[in-house]
Chains A and B, each alone.
Chain A
Amino acid sequence: MAMLEVDDIHTYYGNIAALKGISLTVEEGECVTLIGSNGAGKSTTLRSISGLTPPRTGDIVFEGENITRTPPAAIVRLGISQSPEGRRCFPRMTVRENLDMGAYLRRDDGIAGDVERVFGLFPRLQERERQKAGTMSGGEQQMLAIGRALMARPKLLLLDEPSMGIAPILVERIYETIAEINRQGTTILLVEQNANYALAVSQRAYVLETGTVALSDSSAALRTNPDVQKAYLGG
């Protein structure tokens, strides 16, 4: 059984259907990506998994447990954390305080060690440990958002557009780090508009279009798919 099984979920904002029957699976250890154009429902899928916008119908099962209507805090406790679209760092908290918030539900004594691990992945954050997140650059905030999500020690890490608004050279670095996080054993579900990087780092991918899954395949196959190339790879 897959680690995460999303089965035919329909999610609404008021009366507007954002997801019209999304199904997908993520196996333990995988890095899976969702690509799709603006408004396709990528973020809503991640928000549904995290419990911020629970689906009206359909099921989300994580490690055998149905989490469709589970509150966000309990979902974090089960091992799913998210770096949301737009980063959403706490602007008037320092880098260190933001990381500590990521470990909000933890009571073990491994927190300091995990801060070191995040600093190892993103040395820039260590230099800025005492800086207020709101005063940092977009790229630095992105690193912080990912680091903060890692502080929950997730089994499954949800990343929403980690390349948004970031200089190309930094995107490359962030993607190297994402690959490294996956290699270290964290399962990743990644959302991207920038399909080049996403398909390079992931093993499998789903293409979303207006709230449904239009296509799913291995990332390698999708990269050579002419339709995908035309629509998402600028080729």
Chain B
Amino acid sequence: MASASLTGARAAAPARVVRAFLDKYGLICLLLVMPVAFGIHDLRTEGDLSRLGNNLLDGLSNGSIWALVAIGYTLVYGIVELINFAHGDVFMIGSFTAAGFFGTIGLTAATGVPGLIAGLLLTLLVAMLASGSLNLMIERVAYRPLRGAPRLAPLVAAVGFSFILQNVGLLWRGGSQQGIVDLINSQKELVMIAGVSVTHGDTLAIAVTIPLVLAMTLFISRTRLGKAMRATAQDPDAARLMGINVDTTISATFLIGGMLAGAAGLTYALYQTTVWYFQGFTAGLIAFTAAVMGGIGNIRGAVLGGLIIGVIQQISDNRIGSQWTPAIVFAFLVLIMVFKPSGLLGEETREAG
């Protein structure tokens, strides 16, 4: 008996070591599989890593757009435990607003650099305000009256609003993909760093995303309203007892999430140089996946998830074939959820903060 259990323990030891290793580094290994494999492949066939470098950069710029959208999902989920299905469409309206506003203020491909930057900043502001106030309005008319109703009710309202916004988009710009003027010469190379070509589009995506994410993180950790958002996400009743106006705080959360989606909408329009009414559905799905991958409710997780999905998509599009990309993205999602059901940075308990 005693010796049997002893050998049992000895046999289990390596398994335990493997298990501990997997727990700790399994996710990182998983995420590194594709870059490392293709990196080795590149070194063998081309002798340098520039192709992989380009994949990574393109993936990060695309992913930063998903990250901005994903933050909106995660913020809202964190505070009202609702998947805001209309969020992708709020992003689409942001794109449409930006695309329309370029024309209004007379930006063309011929506009000089200072004028272009000023015009883009103004457009960014307008797109953020449009998407932000739209999201705020949706919360007021569709979700707030249903607070306290069974879970399914606001969820159905969210799906309904998503359809409404898609139809608004359909009426606004028709049913087909629409090219918009390539204001920033998106594909043009700005600089070449170690064989990696940094395009205008990449620069724009990074220049929009990094400051916004930093500003938002600071806002949430430092300001009164940000603290109220965290407190409400963690315990709404306790937040009320502190004197926090929970309704106002929830409104602010929708406003901020919508504003980031608007910024993403502008970036997307300039980066892709096309917009269409259905873009919000796809982007919403990807960004929602990113939020889940990172750990729904966790802001850093949403950013990380967005960037990772961007990179996976880019590598898959470029190396494997774009018809496989959605399957590969979701395969990664499933594997990550198996390793860590709460998502990459999610906490075992409840979300957010």
Task: Mark A residues whose CB is within 8 Å of B.
Answer: 50-52, 71-73, 76-77, 81-82, 84, 88-93, 97, 100-102, 104-105, 134, 148-149, 152
- Alpha-carbon gap, A4 to B240, bound state (A): 20
Closest chain A residue to B245 by CB distance?
A73
Given A73-B240, A105-B242, 4 new contacts (CB under 8 A): A88-B237, A88-B241, A92-B234, A104-B244
B225 to chain A, nearest CB (A): 11
Q: Are A73 and B234 in contact (CB under 8 A)?
A: no
Closest chain B residue to A88 by CB distance?
B238
- Alpha-carbon gap, A155 to B241, bound state (A): 15
Closest chain A residue to B221 by CB distance?
A97
Q: Are A134 and B237 in contact (CB under 8 A)?
A: no
How many chain B residues sit at the interface, stated as a range, is: 20 to 34
Task: Mark B residues whose CB is within 8 Å of A.
Answer: 224, 227-228, 230-231, 234-235, 237-245, 347, 349-350, 352-353
Q: Are A102 and B237 in contact (CB under 8 A)?
A: no
Closest chain B residue to A151 by CB distance?
B242
Q: Are B241 and A93 in contact (CB under 8 A)?
A: no
Q: Are A84 and B234 in contact (CB under 8 A)?
A: no
- Nearest 6 CB-CB pairings of A with B: A76-B243, A88-B238, A105-B243, A92-B353, A73-B243, A72-B240
Q: Are A90 and B238 in contact (CB under 8 A)?
A: yes
Contacts of A90 in B (CB 8 A): 230-231, 234-235, 238
- Alpha-carbon gap, A45 to B246, bound state (A): 21
A223 to chain B, nearest CB (A): 31
Contacts of A152 in B (CB 8 A): 242-243
- Alpha-carbon gap, A93 to B347, bound state (A): 13
Give me 24 A-to-B residue pairs in the complex whose CB atoms sit less than 8 angstroms apart, sorted by A's number.
A50-B241, A72-B241, A73-B240, A73-B243, A76-B242, A81-B241, A82-B241, A84-B237, A84-B238, A88-B237, A88-B238, A90-B231, A90-B235, A91-B234, A91-B350, A92-B353, A97-B227, A100-B227, A101-B231, A101-B242, A102-B242, A104-B228, A104-B243, A148-B242
- Alpha-carbon gap, A100 to B238, bound state (A): 13
Closest chain B residue to A106 by CB distance?
B243
Contacts of B347 in A (CB 8 A): 92
Contacts of A101 in B (CB 8 A): 227, 231, 239, 242
Contact of A71 among B239, B245, B352 (CB under 8 A): B245
Given known pairs A92-B234, A104-B228, the reply for A134 and B242 (CB within 8 Å) is no
A13 to chain B, nearest CB (A): 11
A91 to chain B, nearest CB (A): 6
Closest chain A residue to B351 by CB distance?
A92
- Alpha-carbon gap, A91 to B349, bound state (A): 10
Contacts of B243 in A (CB 8 A): 72-73, 76-77, 104-105, 152
Q: Are A93 and B224 in contact (CB under 8 A)?
A: no
Closest chain B residue to A71 by CB distance?
B245
A15 to chain B, nearest CB (A): 14
Given known pairs A71-B245, A90-B230, A92-B347, the reply for A52 and B238 (CB within 8 Å) is no
B8 to chain A, nearest CB (A): 34
